[in-house]
Chain A
Amino acid sequence: MRLKTSTLFAAVALAAASGLAAAQTIKIGIMTTYSGPGAAQGDQLDKGFKLYLKLNGSKLPPGVKVEPIFRDDTGANPDAAKRLAQELIVREKVQFLTGFVWTPNAMAIAPLTAEAKVPYISANAAGVSLPRISPYVARVSFTLWQSSYPLGQWAAKKFKRAYTVVSDFAPGHEAEEAFTKGFKDGGGEIVGSARTPMTATDFIPYMQRVKDAKPEAIFAFNPAGKQATAQMKAYADLDLHKAGIKYIGTGDITTDEELQNMGDAALGVITVHHYSAAADRPANKAFVAAYKKEYGEKLNPGFMAVGAWDAMDLIFHVIREQKGKIDPDRTMQLIKNYKNPNSPRGPIQIDPDTRDIMQNEYLREVRKVGGQLANVELETVATQYKDPWKEFNKPK
């Protein structure tokens, strides 16, 4: 009898244990921006994540489920983001962190990921030194050096004098630095530079200053969203195009979801970036079609939606590889070897040394395709390109 009871007990315990293993739920903390002036960018991340979960949410080992937990950081608000991330880790016990539109927020939470051993995959925040803060940070988005430096090199062959206008926060400073280096090393001259407030909505004064300096090109970076449209409108309103000043920059200034609002002023604008909704790769065509089916025919996915999509793909890959039993160090090992030949933006992989993304950078021009404005890819200026800043600034 005694034996029987204990056998029964063991059987129940075993059943309970396997039951637990069978119904494993992995929580993913997703920080994005739903309120404030940055809500347009946050919306892109939100749509990218939700589309991936809807289409691929079931592609997991049997019994493993994923539960996304969304939080609103209300914009570039590092202390709020830090508190929210801490709560996600402590209270919700998330095993991954992702999302983050804003570099300042990402920089603030990065130390937490090391303390708590929670891997964080940046779906957008592009501050170049971010992965160096913690060994549990990886990035699938981009750095400003990846686009601005080759653009500077390209521009030096076309123009002699350029003016830079960037947003006044870390990614803006990096875009300015990278473009300036590429442009000057190629023999160009920077005739002036301006930094606009992060929340600027009026770009007329800055564009007037550019016009007065009479450069051949203006290099711009802003955090995409509505600001990209506002800056494009200022460029058009002051007739900079007619004054012979070419508008060039990172893909943020002609981001696909905003492009239709910019009007014909955007025609001919040259950018270097890793993603265009108009690219004709099969993976991208499928992605854009799925996106339009879900969110409406008129909406184009921007690079942030792709960042979110790829971040989720990476997390799903890591969960599959570990069959749902997540170990943070093993996770980081797997992330370092992550490769995806079929991202909507083309082949991507994580650089194992820096945990940063390697991807193709395309030179694009805004043209009309089928009556719609589109970032048409002209050539691939860099293939499987590592972040050049980290090449110039190796850790000592």
Chain B
Amino acid sequence: MTHAGGYVADSRIRAIEWLPWVLAVICFFAAPTYVPLGSYVLTMIIFALSLDLILGYGGIITLGHSAYFGAGAYAAGIFAARVTGEPLLGLLVGTLAAGLLGLITGLIILRTRGLALLMLTLAITSLCLEVANKATDWTGGADGLGGFKVQPILGLFKFDFLGKTAYLYCLVVLFLCWWLVRRLVYSPFGASLTGVRENNVRMHAVGAPVYQRLVISYTISAAMAGLGGALLTQTTQFVGLKVLGFELSGELMVMLILGGVGRIYGAFVGPLAYLVAQDYLAKQFPEYWYFGIGAMLVLVVMFARGGILGIIDALIARVRSRPS
């Protein structure tokens, strides 16, 4: 397989890997009215990348990743409301808060595996949701946290109504995340994660510090999810309880599966396809759009286990194997 990572693959950036960035910039100029949706897609790509790191590479199955996304979102929101609306500091606060939460919870729950782990991730999300719901003085509860101002980035770039600044801001942050994930995945550390996913017992047998590796990757992933959450807070200037909801975790996993799990660009393609389809369906059939989403998922699960990138792989393989 192409997504083995580690020492196996060539870690140099191939020409085609620049394609998403070129497309993102083209979209910015070609479809200015889709820029707010674009910012949301970019944010969800960051979130999906963070999940891919632990689910796709580390094999940690979680349905509670929104806990970290939400922690970052609320940390950034509360920071903006109470301390300062400086966006870069806000991102840092969101990232650190979620990373810290990831470290603490990771230390506890990563001692388990399989279903027990799945249940614990769910429990953590529920706990965070309840805390946010009840701590109304800080979070606004079910009414959400709004009314804070986010200052211009570096004092220069104001968040405009059309969402252009927000889009480019998200794009730059995503680029940094992509670069980091790529470095991680192609490093010996990434190789050891893949090893844990593929054969946990054997990794123990060769003396690899499995638990430590998992906790580190979980913390990095949580921090990145928090970064995504903080970004969402700043670009929408609002935080609602849904960022901590179980639905968001489920939706995220669906996006990742749709794109292709365990490969960096699965996290790019999945959210894009899912959110654009959702946008189109919700526009055409505001009353029944969930039906379309459901049908799409059934089709992917039945016919394309590797997600959209899996389909593309299969097509390329077929073309190549054809006798010329």
Contact = CB atoms under 8 A, between A and B. Distances in A.
Interface of A: 34-35, 46, 70-72, 76-80, 82-83, 86-87, 90-91, 103-104, 107-108, 111-112, 115-116, 127, 168-170, 197-198
Nearest to B146: A108
A90 B33 contact: yes
Contact of B146 (A78, A83, A168): A78
A112 B161 CA distance: 8
Contacts of A72: 282, 286-287, 289
Contact of A87 (B36, B141, B142, B243): B36
A222 B141 CA distance: 16
A107 B147 CA distance: 9
11 contacts: A70-B286, A72-B286, A72-B287, A77-B240, A78-B146, A80-B242, A103-B143, A104-B142, A104-B143, A104-B144, A112-B161
B36 A90 contact: yes
A79 B286 contact: no
Nearest to A35: B290
A34 B286 CA distance: 7
B143 A107 contact: yes
Contacts of B34: 91
Given A34-B289, A71-B282, A170-B143, 18 more contacts: A34-B288, A70-B286, A76-B240, A77-B242, A79-B236, A79-B242, A80-B240, A82-B236, A83-B37, A83-B40, A86-B36, A86-B161, A90-B33, A108-B146, A108-B240, A168-B141, A168-B142, A169-B143
Nearest to B37: A87
Interface in B184-242: 232, 236-240, 242
A115 B237 CA distance: 14
A198 B142 CA distance: 7
Residue among B133, B143, B239, B242 facing the most chain A CB atoms (10 A cut-off)? B143
Contacts of B56: none
A108 B37 contact: no
A80 B236 CA distance: 9
Interface in B268-297: 282-283, 286-290
Nearest to A116: B161
Interface residues of B, number: 29
Nearest to A77: B242
A285 B238 CA distance: 43
Nearest to A170: B143
Contact of B240 (A34, A70, A79, A115): A79
B288 to A, nearest CB: 8
Contacts of A70: 286-287
B199 to A, nearest CB: 41
Given A71-B282, A91-B33, A34 B144 contact: no
B163 interface: yes
Contacts of A115: 161
Nearest to A197: B133
A168 B139 CA distance: 13
A78 B283 CA distance: 18
Contacts of B288: 34
A107 B282 CA distance: 22
Interface in B238-260: 238-240, 242-243
A271 B310 CA distance: 59
Given A70-B286, A115-B161, A197-B133, A83 B142 contact: no
Interface string B23-43: 000000000011011001000
Nearest to A43: B287
A392 to B, nearest CB: 21
B141 A79 contact: no
B314 interface: no
Contacts of B283: 71
A111 B238 CA distance: 11
- A80, A86, A108 interface centre (most CB from chain B within 10 Å): A108
B162 interface: yes
Contacts of B37: 83, 87
B243 A79 contact: yes
Pick from B40, B141, B237 the residue with the most CB of A within 10 Å.
Answer: B141
Contacts of B238: 78-79, 82, 108
B78 to A, nearest CB: 16
Contacts of A104: 142-144, 240
Nearest to B245: A77
Given A71-B282, A83-B36, A83-B236, A76 B142 contact: yes
B286 A78 contact: no
Given A72-B287, A169-B141, A79 B239 contact: yes
Contacts of A91: 33-34
Interface in B8-58: 33-34, 36-37, 40
Interface string B47-82: 000000000000000000000000000000000000
Nearest to B142: A169
B299 to A, nearest CB: 20
Most chain A CB within 10 A, of B40, B142, B162, B287, is at B142
A247 to B, nearest CB: 24
Q: Which of B34, B36, B162, B286 has the most CB of A within 10 A?
A: B286
A168 B282 CA distance: 29
Interface centre among B133, B162, B232, B282 (most CB of A within 10 A): B282
Nearest to A75: B242
B252 to A, nearest CB: 15
Contacts of A35: 289-290
A127 B141 CA distance: 14
A335 to B, nearest CB: 23
Nearest to B289: A72
A104 B239 CA distance: 11
A46 B237 CA distance: 29
